[in-house]
Structure 1
């Protein structure tokens, strides 16, 4: 099932989208460069992790993942826990909690939209989710309480010029609030941001009309490729703007998400340009895999075995 975050967010009634470290023993990604711990975006386990948070995190740590980016939870908040409690659990398992995803602003629900099934095959039940437009300071304060380095806007409306400008305003205001809290704010893309709206490309507007210091980017490599972009060219055009990456693969038609290294994306070339991008952390992600644990094991093996020097 080609389930993804876009469909998930759409199903909550908050989203309509127009169009998607290595561990010490793994060695360095490139000769002469310091290794990066392999990170994981927990959206990979959406619909699963809430049933057994500690058990799921224990399995993830056993694979070798050392860094964590949290996401949406059916329990709300941080998988039903307070920020400090979630951080303690992650740390106790030998991992570091680096980043968290939040929504930018509510999206309009499309007519006739229905809740999709989650990875467990059952219709998802999603609680109302807070967003930066309406709950910015609370979300920033929670992230600061958890002591994470990054707060990431997972998505924001960009279907019209008015929506883009409103999202830019929200991103800039959140960037200021995060800076005051000692957190770096970032924006995470799908492929919709690369589709022209009234002759303008939303992602270009996001890059050029947000404060480059306060609003960095978490580049989802696969969604960028699906959107017709060359990640390396983005790095060259906006050096240092991409401290975070999402790493997943795509099939030849760019319609099916695959474990890293089992698709068509040239990760060796992309990682060879990580310094110019400003990358500090990267997170493996697989939206709605049939077997999340098998997927993250496959991705980890490829990253630690093939991308090392």
Structure 2
């Protein structure tokens, strides 16, 4: 029988152990390192199974998909088949990039409905919109229309147990009569339904400060793209920790931003190759950022 005295002693010893090992206590809240699979777009469609095995071996626990379409599904695999490969490698597709066909422009929900079903089968948490074509984002009214469509899609996602997120590039930060497209999207979307995946590279590349966005819009950036900027040529990416973006300072404000998950992405300039690059990024993050 455990007496009150023994209970107090054991509890005190346990507390002392945690205090003596602060690094252990911190790891309890570590974020899992994710990878946006677009990073491996040249390799992945050729052999999904072996590529995802290499992703898992490179230190990643989660992934973000891309490229889904009603016709080709995921690189020739249907969502059930892809889920089996992910499960075999202990990978979770927490988010996916879905273009949604023409939904943002004309409201056609065919692709959106298919995307929601695919995301549900993968047991994703977020369905993320990655891009808006140039003809449909030229002025304030265009962005107001996009915001309205995002609200509509987010309501459909919520009914299916999903969350909707919007991923930025740099064009959202262009000025339109004293405001930016991004400001319109933040202001005119339902903060309880529409979330944002902040691509840190594109924010910095556009001349903006992620920390100011966090402070002005706390809690809205549930997802991040962690993508570094080459020091010699800002138009190029590089491995995390090798470029000019101060990720250590940014990660300290993860709580204020609302970040739940993040995904490494590198679109070019791999050194010396794609798998070495994602391993370098994973190693730097695990040792220095989380």
TM bin (shorter chain): 0.7 to 0.9
Q: Which has the higher contact order (CA 8 A, sep 6+)?
A: 1
Change (3 A) 1:43 1:30: farther
Per the alignment, in what secondary structure is the counterpart of residue 176 of structure 2?
A: coil
Which structure features the higher share of helix residues? Answer: 2
Verify: 1:175 aligned to 2:151, yes or no. no
What is the match of residue 3 of structure 1? none
Verify: 1:206 aligned to 2:182, yes or no. no
Verify: 1:36 aligned to 2:31, yes or no. yes
For 1:222-261, list aligned pairs within 5 A. 222-252=201-231, 253-261=233-241
Question: Quick check: which has more Rg, 1 or 2?
Answer: 2
2:145 to 155, 166, 187: 166
Change (3 A) 1:162 1:76: farther
Kindly state the Cα deviation for residue 143 of structure 1 after the two structures are TM-superposed: 1.5
Q: Which runs of 5+ in 2 are unaligned?
A: 1-21
Change (3 A) 1:294 1:232: same
**May I ask how many residue pairs the two structures share in their alignment?**
259
**Aligned equivalents of 2:171, 2:23: Cα separation in 1:** 33
Change (3 A) 1:28 1:243: farther
Structure-1-length-normalised TM-score: 0.78
Structure-2-length-normalised TM-score: 0.82
Kindly state the Cα deviation for residue 204 of structure 1 after the two structures are TM-superposed: 0.5
What is the match of residue 87 of structure 2? 91
Query: In 1, are the aligned partners of 2:36 and 2:264 still within 8 Å (CA)?
Result: yes
**Aligned equivalents of 2:149, 2:62: Cα separation in 1:** 28
Larger deviation, residues 176-185 vs 138-147: 138-147
Query: In 1, are the aligned partners of 2:100 and 2:115 still within 8 Å (CA)?
Result: no
C-alpha RMSD of the superposition: 2.5
